[in-house]
Structure 1
Amino acid sequence: MNIVWQYLDKRAATIKVLKDYNSMKHIIERTDDDISMIYDGMISPSSPVNDGMPTVRNPQANENRITHTIDKIDVLKERLRQALEYMDWFQPAWDELTEDEQFVLHEFYMVEEQSQTSAVYNICDRFNIERSSAYNKKNRTLERLTLLLYGK
């Protein structure tokens, strides 16, 4: 085992992984549409701008626009590759959790713009438990996911 793993804060890393899930899912769902929209913009002619300023002729303007668009597409493809790699790594561990464990982690870390207090109340309502039990349930579930993702 690599010595670096002993110094990695696996719990904090797991929390960051959970918070990134929605972003990665969004990237996977939207990248093909974004690429096709950018590509369509690349092949359509640009319209003249009538803003009263004198024009400057740039003989490489079309080539510049095409290379800039290709660079954008490359960035989107790399981002998609990373999102797919993330999902290939994360999804098997997530699927190992029970539905209740997934609910707990989802409420705490994956619902955007929700306070921790609201998450605790939602968990308490679902399982009919006290707040301290909800935090304990979250900690146990987070430890289990950390173990599934990173091992010991």
Structure 2
Amino acid sequence: MNIVWHYLDKKMAAINALKDYSNMEYIIEHTDEDIATIHEKIESPRSSVPTGMPNAHNPKAIEDRLVFGIDEIDVLKERYRQALEYMKWFKPAWENLDEDSQFILNEFFVRDITKTEAILNVSEQLHIERSWVYKKKEDALRQLTLLLYGI
């Protein structure tokens, strides 16, 4: 094992992976739509806007628009590839967690709510005191970190 792995903050990395989860889902669900929108932009003729001002003629305007569109599509495809890779790595670990651990981690790190709201939600849902919520959160995070990174 490489010595660098001893100094990697695996807990923080697991938290960041949790925070990226909803973004990766969004990318996977909407990339096709985004690519279709760019294709429409590329293929549709540009309308002229009569402003009364002389028009600066760019003989390569159509080519520039095509190249820009192709570059955008390439970026979207790369993001999609990375999102699929992320899900292939993250999903098995997430699915190995029990329901309570998933709920706790979702409340603290995935949903866009305050820490206080997360504590109250977990406390209410699992019928435990606040002090136990912190312990359960740390246990769930430790378990996810172990599933993602090993030792």
- TM-score, normalized by length of structure 2? 0.98
Map residues 122-133 of structure 1 onto 2, 5 A cutoff. Answer: 122-133=121-132
Residue 119 of structure 1 and its aligned partner are, at CA, apart by 0.5
In 2, Cα distance between equivalents of 1:127 and 1:46: 58
In 1, Cα distance between equivalents of 2:39 and 2:5: 42
1:15 aligns with 2:15: yes
Q: Which residue of 1 aligns with 2:135?
A: 136
**SS at structure 2 position matched to 1:89:** helix
Residue deviations 1:61-103 (CA, integer Å, cap 9, x gap): 1101100000000000001111111000000000000111100
**SS at structure 1 position matched to 2:146:** helix
1:50 aligns with 2:50: yes
Residue 11 of structure 1 and its aligned partner are, at CA, apart by 0.5
Q: For the aligned residues, what is the CA RMSD?
A: 0.7
Q: Which residue of 2 aligns with 1:109?
A: 109
Residue 128 of structure 1 and its aligned partner are, at CA, apart by 1.1
Q: Which residue of 2 aligns with 1:82?
A: 82
In 2, Cα distance between equivalents of 1:53 and 1:16: 51
In 1, Cα distance between equivalents of 2:125 and 2:52: 64
1:28 aligns with 2:28: yes
In 1, Cα distance between equivalents of 2:103 and 2:55: 59
Residue deviations 1:31-68 (CA, integer Å, cap 9, x gap): 00000010011011000122232101111111011000
In 2, Cα distance between equivalents of 1:106 and 1:51: 52
Q: Which residue of 2 aligns with 1:96?
A: 96
Structure 2 regions of 5+ residues with no counterpart?
Answer: none
Give structure 1 regions of 4+ aligned residues with deviation exceeding 3 angstroms. Answer: none
Structure 1 regions of 5+ residues with no counterpart?
Answer: none
* Aligned residue pair count: 151
- TM-score, normalized by length of structure 1? 0.97
